[in-house]
Amino acid sequence: MDRMEVMRARHSVRSFTDRQVVPAAAQALRDALDEANREQGLHMQLILDEPSAFSGPLAHYGKFHNVKNYIALVGPKNAQRSIGCGGEQAVLLAQSLGLNTCWVAMTYRRGKVPCTVETGEKLHCVVALGYGTTQGVSHPVKPIEQLCRVDGAMPEWFRRGMEAAQLAPTAMNQQKFLFTLEGTDTVRAKALAGPYTQIDLGIAMCHFALGAGAEGWRWAD
């Protein structure tokens, strides 16, 4: 599957089978998290076979079932965008390894997560993962025109970036982000007001960069 196909195939899944994460997939995820932690100054941790964070009434209310594995998205307190980007890279890797995922900021027991949090860091949220009882379903998304501003004709690379950003998961599916093309090659990404919109923006920026490709454009300062 190419990257767009992985993004199209990913949907939030909240119910998982008993199957354990196969060792090769767990190792691939750990390696990717280690690399992202080094590069982006994060402290994300894979936690396997730990059911208590998703065993209480909050998880039940959130319709989570049989969640035993998750990534604890730990990082500096103000690193929401990096957490969004680093977490989503892990989500897309998990999807390509045949796993299903769901970002979770609210409907879990934060105090039960056995992760290491150093001074100056916090547990921003988690990504539940495992083999889903289903592959999830598509949710309605806003048209690209509502998610970006471009003067004149939209360049093809920018359209591909926006098609990828449109598929990014956001808290409560709010999609409160805006990408603006400045000049011919500079992209300004902005989070709008709302809960978790900085993390959402990091996720959307990760998707945009994958869709637009590495060459011929840059982020605004």
Ligand X SMILES: Cc1cc2nc3c(=O)[nH]c(=O)nc-3n(C[C@H](O)[C@H](O)[C@H](O)COP(=O)(O)O)c2cc1C
Neighbours of 183 (CB within 10 A): 8
Looking at residue 57, the DSSP 8-state letter turns out to be H
**Number of chain positions touching ligand X (CB under 6 A):** 21
Longest dimension (CA), the chain: 53
The reply to whether 134 sits near ligand X by the rule CB under 6 A is no
Q: How far is the CB of 174 from ligand X (least distance, A)?
A: 8
The reply to whether 92 sits near ligand X by the rule CB under 6 A is no
The reply to whether 173 sits near ligand X by the rule CB under 6 A is yes
Neighbours of 218 (CB within 10 A): 8
Closer to ligand X by CB, 13 or 181: give it.
Answer: 13
Closer to ligand X by CB, 40 or 170: give it.
Answer: 170
Q: How far is CA 198 from CA 20, 80, 138, 172, 176, in A?
A: 32, 6, 23, 14, 9
Q: Are 86 and 29 in contact (CB under 8 A)?
A: no
The reply to whether 136 sits near ligand X by the rule CB under 6 A is yes
Q: How far is the CB of 140 from ligand X (least distance, A)?
A: 9
Neighbours of 117 (CB within 10 A): 14
The stretch among 1-9, 43-51, 111-119, 166-174 that binds ligand X (CB under 6 A) is 166-174
Burial of 83 (0-12, 13-18, 19+ CB in 10 A): buried
Q: How far is the CB of 10 from ligand X (least distance, A)?
A: 7
- For ligand X, the binding residue among 1, 22, 106, 192 (CB under 6 A) is 106
The reply to whether 22 sits near ligand X by the rule CB under 6 A is no
The reply to whether 202 sits near ligand X by the rule CB under 6 A is no
- For ligand X, the binding residue among 125, 126, 162, 165 (CB under 6 A) is 125
Question: Interhelix angle for 23-40 vs 80-96, to 10°?
Answer: 160
The stretch among 73-81, 97-105, 186-194, 207-215 that binds ligand X (CB under 6 A) is 97-105
Q: How far is the CB of 104 from ligand X (least distance, A)?
A: 4
3-state DSSP percent of the chain in helix, strand and coil, to 5: 40, 20, 40
The reply to whether 135 sits near ligand X by the rule CB under 6 A is no
Sign of the torsion formed by the C-alpha atoms of 166, 167, 170 and 173: positive
Question: Where do contacts with ligand X occur on this chain (CB under 6 A)?
Answer: 11-12, 62, 102-107, 125, 136, 139, 169-173, 196, 199-200, 203
